[in-house]
A and B are shown apart, each in its own frame.
Chain A
Amino acid sequence: MIAYSTRRFTFAAGHRYTVDAWPAEKNERVFGRLAVPHGHNYTLDVTVRGPIDAETGMVIDLSEVKAVVSETVVERFDHADLNADPAFRGRVPTTENIAVVVWELLAPKLGGERLWQVRVWEDPTLFVDYRGPGR
């Protein structure tokens, strides 16, 4: 019996959309207002998947998820400039790429099999889901 457990996190971060190889005019033309430094209150939903343990009744101890995500993602990105983070070197910090980066940071710690989905909300009107390479 497979179940899915989701824990929600929040972090506030700054970013701007810019491709280093492009001149400023092209960045402004392609990305518009997004080329200017700004920020968001991000919400992150981390979903783990697995059988329900017969003894504990849990898919995973959500306090373990809380500790791993807080240490690995929230402490790193909260009140940070995403463009300055090495994870976004050569990668524009779009919501899509934030979801991919969060997945890449969490998968080794939670296990790619247990980690089912990363959902990143940029604001209440926009979210991105990523379930790992090939899924």
Chain B
Amino acid sequence: MIELTRVYHFSAAHRLESPMLSAEENARRYGPCFRPHGHNYYLEVTMRGEPDPVTGMVIDIGRVDDVVSATVLDHVDHRTLEEVPRLGGVITTGESLARAFWDLLAPALRPGTLARVAVVETAKNRFEYAGEDR
């Protein structure tokens, strides 16, 4: 089994705020992340499969690029994540973004081919999600 990972980039603004907490509790819980700020995010999309015996390719990378752009990047790059309709209700922590991006990408890709989604928020923070059962 081969795993192929493509690294994408987007820049976005966000702030962490839970609708279930008061303003004071949010400020205390999230600290500086409660204030509007932004990141240069990296999104790593890992596909899995066996290389085609003729072409040597697990997947058409160009098609994955198109799907990731149309499904995620075009909606989040240079946006405020809290205002992105397809992220409605998501508290935009790295881990919740990883799961939200997985939920958007998995149905748009051939079933069983998406292995993992990683959101790299900063050089220090990395979040991975590999589906509900993993």
Does A5 sit at the interface, judged by CB under 8 A? no
Complex CA–CA separation, A117 to B7 (angstroms): 19
Name the residue of chain A whose CB is nearest to the CB of B1: A135
The smallest C-beta distance from A22 to any residue of chain B, in angstroms, reads 8
By a CB distance below 8 angstroms, the chain B residues around A99 are 2
> Which candidate, A38-46, A54-62, A63-71, A88-96, is the interface stretch facing chain B?
A88-96
Complex CA–CA separation, A31 to B55 (angstroms): 9
Known: A17-B56, A31-B55, A126-B4. 20 other contacts (CB 8 A): A30-B55, A32-B62, A91-B56, A92-B56, A93-B56, A94-B57, A96-B2, A96-B4, A96-B51, A96-B56, A97-B51, A100-B2, A124-B7, A125-B6, A125-B7, A125-B8, A128-B2, A128-B58, A130-B2, A135-B1
Number of residues on chain A facing chain B (CB within 8 A):
24
Does A127 sit at the interface, judged by CB under 8 A? yes
Complex CA–CA separation, A97 to B7 (angstroms): 19
By a CB distance below 8 angstroms, the chain B residues around A30 are 55
| Contact across chains for B6 and A96 when beta carbons are under 8 A apart | no
| Contact across chains for A94 and B55 when beta carbons are under 8 A apart | yes
Does B25 sit at the interface, judged by CB under 8 A? no
The 4 closest A-B pairs by CB, nearest first: A92-B56, A94-B56, A129-B3, A96-B51
Name the residue of chain A whose CB is nearest to the CB of B7: A125
| Contact across chains for B55 and A92 when beta carbons are under 8 A apart | yes
**C-beta contact mask, A2-20 vs B, less than 8 Å → 1, else 0?**
0000000000000001010
By a CB distance below 8 angstroms, the chain B residues around A131 are 1
Does B40 sit at the interface, judged by CB under 8 A? no
